[in-house]
Each structure stands twice: as structure tokens, then as C-alpha cells.
Structure 1
């Protein structure tokens, strides 16, 4: 009976030209966890409460929730979040917010989580490599991160592995019915960069690129080890990095031309990331 009703509704919708949400029959209870790459700082419109989290009502989680017809949606993504803020209250510029895992419940059916970049300081790392004057006047930054012959960013990235495994297990414990998706990070630098459009010299741009690729591989590996899905945003965002022109790029450069924080997704990026995330959660049924 239910199946016939769904077929009838779909047929009616096609006749009327109405889009049927992908998961309308599933009554999804969707919870979005994550940091500023997920929350969408400065992307219109910033929502209340928790203004200190710089959360947009047009981030990829909101758009995905609309696309799948989620019956319940809770977005607790927050700028500056680290893995510890999944478990503990997070301080923001405008007050404290509850631990993100508090948004989970036993009836949660879908979770996306994009976290880890702030644990290792990737955004600050990119900004540290800005160089207004090229060599020989300006200094490269990549060699500053080799300590005792080891790449300190890779050491930090590897140290995060067990925390992510624990986090996935804790999400599963709180929401045993949920399908869990670990979301990766976008492409922030093309090969060789684009100095001076984005003032990061060639060697540093390639170092940033390799560092983020390693970080995304780590996320994918930990998701696989924990038995959950990984959503790759790096590959589809190739050609849409901060070096590209407005209207093409999905990530804004240090001086944004669209409402977005520097080196964060703009509205166009969020729409395209929502397409990727929606396809991933829809294809995992």
C-alpha cells in the first residue's frame, strides 16, 4: 500500500512538475556536525541562535536537508570547532555553545561530520604562508614545518587518527540507527599556486596542496577503518580553488569577493558541496 502511494505521488509530481524529495519516505532525522568549513561563516544568511558559530542557512547541510526532505534537521556546526568540541562546550566570540554530540539522539538516522582541520591548525597554516613579497625578499614557509627531519603537519595529522575513530564510535553509540558520513575538505591550492593573485609562492602552494591531500587521505582511511562513508570534496572542487575568478571559485581567497570568510567556501561552493553530499547520502540507501 505504501509503495503504491509513493508511486502515485511520484507520478502526480511529475505531471505537475513538482520535485519529490529524495528521501521523503524515510523521515530522515539529520544532524550536521563540524567546523567552519561546514558552517559557512559570512555566507548569507547567518542564523540564530549561536551567532558566534557563524552558521549559514545556506551551508551544504541546510541545502542537503532540503534536498532529501529531512523530517527533522539539527545543524550544530560551529566555526572554530575541534574534535574536543564534539564532547565539551565550545566558547565563541558571542558566548558558549553546547557540545555538538548533544544534538544526537537515538532516533537520528543521518549524520554528517566535517572536523579535524582546526585540531591541526590548517587554516592558520595557510595564512602563515601568505607572502606579499616573493623570494629573494620574501621567505618560503614550507621548510619551517620540518622538525627533526619530520613534517610537523603530517605528525599532527597522524596523531588525529585515533580521535576520529573514537568520535565515529561515539556517534554510533548515541545514534545506532544513523548512517554516518565523514566529509573531507576542498581544494585550497592548484598546482604551483597563482602568485600574486593569491600571494603564496609556488613552493608553498605545492606544500599546502600536498598537506591537504594527505589530510583528506587520512580522513578517508579513518572513515573506512570505522566502517562509515567518506564524502570527497577535494576532487569535485578541482578547478574551483581560490585562484579562480569570482563566479568560478568555490573557496574565497584571503581577500574575499563574495560573502565568506577567507579560505572558506562561498555560497556557490556550498551549493556545489550540497550536490555532492546529497548524492552521497542518497546513494547509500
Structure 2
């Protein structure tokens, strides 16, 4: 997870189909803004939009795919690689207004330096990896709920009429299988850190009155060490893509979860 991304989606749509998709007539009135980090920007999904600069927004990100399929009245993604909760508040909330009806966001991983931790897990071995993850879990437990609450409150204030969907992060590894790379202890610790992050995010989102979308079950069987994985492992040719969903991960993992929550 070089630069983790967190996702929150808002929708002012009351009726949905059995597949969780917004009917075309309703979608035409939706004003959708995607916030968050690299997981919402689409890092790892390729074909990055040049005007997005270092934010690395991709047309293959789940929010862009949803917008392309439903043709909302308006759509904007301000999600950005490396974004923290502070970045969302200071740099992204200006995209919201009282006319916004749908918001999505993934956020929180970068607040715990997950990208740096994954780098150390690969370069410094199991002991360092496990120790850093345990320290991050302690910090997240102590501080992340308040940070998330601040972001969610700010979203409510700026987009009071929006339906907000918060998406979590997938587990990276299928720990039931073995493959070349990190030790089993490191993989297990990494997944436990993601599980805690998702748990804290779900609790904070629910408390704020938002909808939480858990993507872990969608990615089950498609994690690193699985033959049909939807996540990049370490990519030395493009390190930023490491531990992010592929284009298939965005389309077949994140998009269905998001669509079901809109």
C-alpha cells in the first residue's frame, strides 16, 4: 500500500434496483463528487489523466466507472494519491456544495503511514514489519476515530443534502496460501492492520450517519498470492502502484460494492 486511498460515497437516491444501481432517470439528477486517497483516485488502474498531475486519477477508478455507466448530472473526482484526512479537509472539500447529492471517499491509510510501513516490510524484514504495524494499530486506535469524525463532520457541513458512502480497504494477502515475498508473519500482521483500519472506519462512518462499503469480501480469492489477484504486489517499475487495486480490482471489486450502497 504505497499510498493508500479511502473512499466515501454520497447519494441522494432513495430507490435502487436489485443490483444496487441507480435507475437512469434518477441518476440524471445526481451531482456526484469523489473524495479521498489513491484507492479512490484509481492508482494502480492505469491510464492516468495528465491534468491530475501527481494525484494520479484514473478513468478506471470505481467512481469514474460508475459515472460513465449512469451519466449523473455532474461528476467530479478530487481524490488524490497520498491524501490524508487533513488533505481532504484542506484541499478537497471545496468541491462540495449544498447541491451535491452523492459523495464517495476512502481515507485513513496514509494517516498511519501505511505506504512507508509496506516499504519497510519489504526492505527490513519481519521483525521491523510486525513492530511497525503494531505501533500503527495502537496509533490508529488512539487517534484515527477523531480524525475521521472531523472529516465526516466537514463533509456533512459542506454537502448537507448528500448521501455519503465510505469505502474500506481490501486485505492484501490470502494468508491461507504461500507465495514468494514477505514472510507469513508479515502478511498476517499486514492484513490485521487493514482489518483494524476497516473496523475503525466502519464505526466512524456509521456514527456519522454515512453508509459503509466493505470491499474485503469482494476481493476474497483475488488477493496477493491468489492466481487471479486484483491487487498489485511490489512493482519495482512503478512503485506507486504497489499494493493498489488493478483496473480489474476497481471494476470487479470496488465498483459493485459502491453500486450496491448508492
Normalising TM by the smaller chain, what interval? 0.7 to 0.9
After TM superposition, give the deviation of residue 145 of structure 1 in Å: 3.1
After TM superposition, give the deviation of residue 113 of structure 1 in Å: 0.8
Q: Distance in 1 between matches of 2:198 and 2:156?
A: 22
Contact 1:185 1:216 in 2 (8 A): yes
- The aligned residue for residue 106 of structure 1 is 98
Q: How does 1:1-285 map to 2 (within 5 A)?
A: 22-26=23-27, 27-88=29-90, 99-130=91-122, 139-145=126-132, 151-158=134-141, 159-191=143-175, 194-196=178-180, 199-245=181-227, 248-255=228-235, 261-272=241-252, 273-281=254-262
- The aligned residue for residue 4 of structure 2 is none
Change (3 A) 1:178 1:231: same
After TM superposition, give the deviation of residue 236 of structure 1 in Å: 1.0
Q: Deviations over 1:104-155 (max 9, x none)?
A: 01100000010110000112222221269xxxxx553344338xxxx31222
After TM superposition, give the deviation of residue 258 of structure 1 in Å: 10
After TM superposition, give the deviation of residue 67 of structure 1 in Å: 2.8
After TM superposition, give the deviation of residue 192 of structure 1 in Å: 5.3
After TM superposition, give the deviation of residue 194 of structure 1 in Å: 2.8
Change (3 A) 1:259 1:268: farther
Q: Deviations over 1:35-57 (max 9, x none)?
A: 11111225332114222111101
Q: Distance in 1 between matches of 2:193 and 2:176?
A: 14
In structure 2, runs of 5+ residues without a counterpart are 1-20
Aligned residue pairs total 239
Change (3 A) 1:205 1:65: same
Q: Distance in 1 between matches of 2:96 and 2:238?
A: 33
**Higher helix fraction: Structure 1 or Structure 2?**
2
Contact 1:194 1:200 in 2 (8 A): no
- 3-state secondary structure, aligned to 1:87: helix
Contact 1:42 1:54 in 2 (8 A): no
Q: Aligned Cα RMSD in Å?
A: 2.4
Contact 2:126 2:186 in 1 (8 A): no
Q: Distance in 2 between matches of 1:258 and 1:163?
A: 30
Q: Distance in 1 between matches of 2:97 and 2:211?
A: 20
User: TM-score, normalised to structure 2's length?
Assistant: 0.84
User: TM-score, normalised to structure 1's length?
Assistant: 0.77
Contact 2:172 2:223 in 1 (8 A): yes
